A and B are shown apart, each in its own frame.
Chain A
């Protein structure tokens, strides 16, 4: 019965095209302020055949139309030490039993350490690594899928080793080593996130580091780009004890879809001992090679519901639009009907890309007008980077 009503409702939609403007941007929308005029490397090799698809969505499953940045959580840190330090002993703090320690030599297999030659000291004990817990060498770790560097030794300390200030020493260390300490059972957890997951060239992204219930003593960090470029972040303390840093990327290093990373290195205090925590998060930098020009047109016919969007390209490329068609239920609530995707090659200048949602899919949903296109996203397929996104794009009456 619902299906019959929906078919009737769909056929009642105006077959004549409705011209409209995009809805005003919402607080979480990403809208380019200016266009980039240079095509991304690789654009010329992209597919030229236009492709348009849609598929039904389960109306009972909620779709998030606002970005939700990733929150990195860390109970670990990394330290780069020389052979003299490691031979004498490197002190570190754990806040719970069962820590994992990984030693990765820069010198490769020749600098690999035997568990029997690594000492763990703490709580008045002086244990060989093979007495302090389970150990795995490079071969075992790689067989498990952990792509560690040659010569790596990992050990999981038994609860008998205890916690607090511990020391690791390797009298036969040669060259430099990366010491990675993971405190999996610790309550001291560093949280690190960005205020959004994609930033347009020339815009600013803000990072925040905090530990619940504790003040951070210190935070430093850096940003790394996919091409190897890196720059220090300047963190400043906030009133709530957290630290923040701001960063504005430039176009020279935006080569998506590889991601940029922000790293933070912090210290807090636990029982008067310094507890180190490092974390990182990933974000994308997009060059705005196109934008939605504002005008839209929608109509329905025997094939379904269609919405066409004006797109202005600053540089030639293949651009994709995707959007979720929402329809109105008998209770008046809006629910997802279908996902539409469409891509076409556009030369620099004004063009159009349209989304279509099949009649059968719309009718089967049991939802009716007014419809809305939500979660509208414009992507440059040369970099697969997100250029523009709108939580709510248009209403189709």
Chain B
């Protein structure tokens, strides 16, 4: 309902008939050089951009999100690609779709507009952010793999095997950043533009259930085990409370996808009509 009101309000205020609408897809943790094929896959991207008046007004960003969110390789890279997209294509009505940790990098830009003089231009162009399974409050899985490193002095815990992005997504770290460097969580000022969460609530990995195979069966097998580290409501990587911690909940998977649920990997794939929901939102 809130989402519907936001749409009506923006249509009235922005006069969207004259706006140039674009969509940007922002990947999650990892260093991407071809996120179109490797992270989102062509079917997902091409289905979503069918909702654009001009289907060429899309960008799939490729950055190094193994780094901390504030670094030039992460937020700096993302800002460069968004800024170039906005200014080159004259986009003034930008819908950003993030997945997982990509939501944190996007929130960093939206929360720290004074850090970089390009950030206000980006923020001004944004209609809203659709955050798929954002790790807004971190994940206990990051705690689990990082915490053991303190014992591993022989290899040097600082050098670590885990990326800085994993370290950053520990729950205590995200609690700090949410309280001090990021906006949009409970008790904090809201973000300057809407941040709408899509929350996955469970994992199906039974080989006898066809839902397990969407997005790749092998990806879901591990999620079934990792889910045991998490609260009862989770997508196998992010607890529902984390996915819903920043901005507002747009929908919980089963409420908008005909009762289907999205595992963490399925929330970036063409599964159960998610692509159509995102397309229709443009």
Contact = CB atoms under 8 A, between A and B. Distances in A.
B116 to A, nearest CB: 6
Contacts of B173: 259, 282
Of the four ranges (under 10, 10 to 19, 20 to 34, 35 or more), the interface on chain A belongs to 35 or more
Contacts of B155: 106
A143 interface: yes
A197 B176 contact: yes
Contacts of B120: 51, 53
Interface string A185-210: 00000000000011000000000000
B187 A145 contact: no
Interface string B88-124: 0000000000001000000000001111110110010
Interface stretch (A63-71, A83-91, A163-171, A266-274): A63-71
B115 A381 contact: yes
Contacts of A141: 222, 225-226
Interface string B222-234: 1111101100000
A151 to B, nearest CB: 11
B150 A222 contact: yes
Contacts of A384: 70, 112, 115, 181
A281 B226 contact: no
Given A143-B218, A144-B225, A228-B156, A280 B147 contact: yes
Interface in B122-150: 123, 141-145, 147-148, 150
Of the four ranges (under 10, 10 to 19, 20 to 34, 35 or more), the interface on chain B belongs to 35 or more
B192 to A, nearest CB: 4
B148 A104 contact: yes
Given A58-B190, A78-B147, A339-B189, A47 B116 contact: yes
Contact of A145 (B114, B175, B192, B264): B264
Contacts of A63: 187-189
A342 interface: yes
A70 B172 contact: yes
6 contacts: A68-B179, A78-B150, A143-B219, A146-B226, A154-B225, A282-B176
Interface of B: 29, 68, 70, 100, 112-117, 119-120, 123, 141-145, 147-148, 150-152, 154-158, 161-163, 166, 170-173, 175-177, 179-181, 183, 187-190, 192, 218-219, 221-226, 228-229, 236-237, 264-265
Interchain residue pairs A-B with the least CB separation, the first 9: A144-B222, A140-B222, A343-B114, A64-B187, A136-B225, A70-B175, A228-B158, A282-B172, A55-B192
Given A72-B171, A72-B172, 5 more contacts: A64-B188, A70-B175, A102-B144, A259-B173, A381-B115
